[in-house]
Amino acid sequence: MNMQKNAVIAMILAGTTLLSACGTNNSGVANNSPAPSAITSGTEASADGGKLEILSGNVGGKTPEGNAEFEKELSKKTGLDVKLDKPASDFDQKVLTALSSGAKYDLIEVSDLAKLDAFIKQGVVTDLSDFVQNSKVLSDPAVIPTGEWDQVKGPDGKIYGVFSKFQGATMPIVRKDWLEKLNLQEPKTLDELYTVLKAFKEGDPDGDGKANTYGLSTSGLYDIQGIMSAAGLKYRYVMQDGKRTIPYATDAAIPMYEWFAKLVKEGIMDPNFITNDTAKMRNLFLTDRVGMVTYWDAWVGMFNNLKKTEDPNTTFQAEGMLSIQAEDGTILMRRGDPDFWIIPANAPHPEAAKKFLEFWNTQEGITLGSLGVQDYDYTLENGTYSLTETGKIANMDHGVPYWYNSTVKSPFPALPGVEDAMALSKQHATLELSLSTWPDAEKIVTNYALKAMSGQMAAKDAVAKMQKELKSANLIDE
């Protein structure tokens, strides 16, 4: 790829850097699409006063200017004096600091169920059960399916969060055009996957006559669930006979780590997978350097859209894949922890927070959370929605790329490939078990897993070290 094309992709990627790991958009960016009646600009809420202070990781604008516009629009739509605090970095630490220091926010965005459990034990979050059950908006199963609420319940069965968006799942994402060029079928077994990845390395799929492509890249251990499925191994914790186990730290994981080490040794796997962040991994995929990555289902559409924006005549085609099946036919896919709002126990304006939570799940709230601010991110003329240049970069993700409310439809067509990818996720993906001990356990598992996968340590020794340290720290049960 020439320098000009690289510069274009770099510019596009700059606009998506602030997206969350699972950040996506719900549909395409084609202009002049007819708007269905489900999304309307609505009527602004009456200014009934009241303040609302929000700490957000994903919701808002993509730039300081965009965030200021979003804050103003949110104030206008809700009739509240909204202050939207969206840190540019270290958001998780900001949340922990806010809750431990007594800083007073009315709403905080969270995306980790293990953290929710810890907050519940600390007594720093508000029980929202009665509010949800009595809310005409939130109790409507067409807005949020009834079974989904189980995700944000505490051990006491009470509801402590309200969803900020619908979360998808992770999967292997493959260059379908490379498969077709090399006359390969989508792999379904581990042996077939090796064959495909080896061909991506050696078959010159980008057609430049140089041996400069890799079969696979990841961002550390995030997220190889779709491949570890081949051994029937689920990430995080699995309870067996009442005991905490971590499948990635069992002897059953040894052959899988050896398989990855083989890829590294043969130059099939991107050697920088240990230090890659997700942006670097995505860039490799978009610049024809790698044929497969492991990432969120919604990014299938994002990848295709970014390339189409750069070059309308591109042959690039990303496609989501099912996880590699185990010998017994098991297919394990990882559904991400939900993104949700909590109301801190010391929130100064809890009623304003509840008003926002209902608004956020309505047509107007979803339109703001997806398309953004009218006349800044998009325009609406004679019933037709069009994205501005700023809106195209934001890619219809201002915190709500996907939503639960089935009555709200997007005015734009879905991005290429994303509906098929998400259909796989909805059929097969399950949540991982989040326990409060996982953050500490994860550090140990990741450290030794990456050493084994990269060939720095024999897989057998790495797993033995994992087990010893996890038991010593009381992070798994004997």
For residues 191 and 247, the answer to whether their CB atoms sit within 8 Å is no
Tokens 């961002």: give the residue: 219
CATH code (residue 128) = 3.40.190.10
For residues 245 and 376, membership in a common domain is answered with no
* First-to-final CA distance of the chain: 53
For residues 429 and 229, the answer to whether their CB atoms sit within 8 Å is no
User: Partners of 53 in the beta sheet?
Assistant: 83
How much is the pLDDT for 42?
Answer: 37
User: Partners of 385 in the beta sheet?
Assistant: 33, 380
For residues 229 and 299, membership in a common domain is answered with yes
- Residue 211 in any domain: the answer is yes
User: Cα separation of 318 and 395, whole Å?
Assistant: 17
How much is the pLDDT for 103?
Answer: 79
Question: Structure pTM?
Answer: 0.78
For residues 281 and 343, membership in a common domain is answered with no
Single residue among 405, 422, 447 that ends a domain in this structure? 405
SS3 439: helix
For residues 323 and 437, membership in a common domain is answered with yes
- Residue 17 in any domain: the answer is no
For residues 246 and 444, the answer to whether their CB atoms sit within 8 Å is no
How much is the pLDDT for 49?
Answer: 56
For residues 328 and 225, membership in a common domain is answered with yes
- Residue 135 in any domain: the answer is yes
For residues 328 and 220, membership in a common domain is answered with yes
For residues 130 and 196, membership in a common domain is answered with no
Q: Which domain holds residue 451?
A: 169-335+432-472
How much is the pLDDT for 34?
Answer: 33
C-alpha distances in Å from residue 429, one per residue of 173, 336, 351: 15, 9, 35
Query: Cα 239 to the chain's mean position, in Å?
Result: 25
Angle at CA of residue 355, ends 349 and 359, nearest 5°: 145
For residue 205 the two structure tokens come to 């799929």
Single residue among 405, 424, 457 that ends a domain in this structure? 405
For residues 424 and 172, the answer to whether their CB atoms sit within 8 Å is no
- Residue 422 in any domain: the answer is no
User: Cα separation of 82 and 15, whole Å?
Assistant: 25
- Residue 423 in any domain: the answer is no
How much is the pLDDT for 17?
Answer: 33
- Residue 18 in any domain: the answer is no
For residues 177 and 322, membership in a common domain is answered with yes
Angle at CA of residue 400, ends 157 and 307, nearest 5°: 135
388-405 tens-digit pLDDT: 999 988 888 999 988 999
- Residue 203 in any domain: the answer is yes
For residues 106 and 151, membership in a common domain is answered with yes
Tokens 């890249």: give the residue: 217
For residues 79 and 180, membership in a common domain is answered with no
- Residue 87 in any domain: the answer is yes
For residues 67 and 134, membership in a common domain is answered with yes
Tokens 């004997």: give the residue: 478
How much is the pLDDT for 436?
Answer: 81
User: Cα separation of 348 and 171, whole Å?
Assistant: 41
For residues 318 and 356, membership in a common domain is answered with no
31 CB burial (10 A radius; 0-12, 13-18, 19+): middle
| Low-confidence stretches of the chain (pLDDT beneath 50) | 1-48
- For 435, list phi and psi in degrees, rounded to 5: -115, 155
How much is the pLDDT for 381?
Answer: 94
For residues 197 and 215, the answer to whether their CB atoms sit within 8 Å is yes
> How many other CB atoms sit within 10 Å of the CB of residue 144?
21
Tokens 């126990």: give the residue: 345
User: Partners of 175 in the beta sheet?
Assistant: 318
Structural domains of the chain, count? 2
**Sequence-distant (≥ 6) Cβ neighbours of residue 468 within 8 angstroms:** none
